[in-house]
Amino acid sequence: MGKRYLLLLCLLASWVVWADIPGTDPAMLKKCEAKVDQAMDAYNSTSWKDFFKDFSKASTALCTEQSFTTVYVDTAQKDFGNYESRTLGDSRCTFNKSVGLLIYKAKFSKKWASLSVNFLQEGGDWKIQQVRIDP
């Protein structure tokens, strides 16, 4: 009997979490994808200003040439190379009213990586908060 209640509780809890995800809005996802495209094009061209173009105001302190060079040029590009393509991992992505996360399996010129992009709702628009490139 206890297992049934636990299963019911898990199902109800998962419904509450998934009820807030606007994953069924193709227009919102298309806008976020375009921002990822633009950031990754800037990553390849090592243009720090273009890379941080669609970042949130909350991330402003980190949107510097020094941080771009340290994190993306000196580390990610040396380890992974240039960005080539990506596939969205739908089951690992999540959005709610104020934050979102898109996770991709990304192909780079040297090897595959996990590309994670955090979003923040700001002024009625989704802005990038962070881009991570991990093995």
Strands 99-108 and 94-95: antiparallel
Structure token digits, residue 36? 């990822």
Q: Can you give the pLDDT at residue 24? A: 40
What tens digit of pLDDT does each residue of 29-76 get?
899 999 999 999 999 999 999 999 999 999 999 999 999 999 999 999
Cβ atoms of 104 and 87 within 8 Å: the answer is yes
Cβ atoms of 83 and 43 within 8 Å: the answer is yes
> What's the rounded Cα separation, in Å, for the pair 61 and 69?
15
Percent of the chain scoring above 70 in pLDDT: 82
Q: Where are the domains of the chain?
A: 21-134
> What's the rounded Cα separation, in Å, for the pair 85 and 124?
29
CATH number of 21-134: 3.10.450.50
Give the chain's radius of gyration (CA, Å).
17
Task: Say if residue 15's pLDDT is above 50.
Answer: no
Task: Say if residue 108's pLDDT is above 60.
Answer: yes
Task: Say if residue 5's pLDDT is above 60.
Answer: no
Closest CA to 132 of 91, 87, 102: 102
What tens digit of pLDDT does each residue of 67-90 get?
999 999 999 999 999 999 999 987
> What's the rounded Cα separation, in Å, for the pair 103 and 78?
21
Structure token digits, residue 34? 């375009």
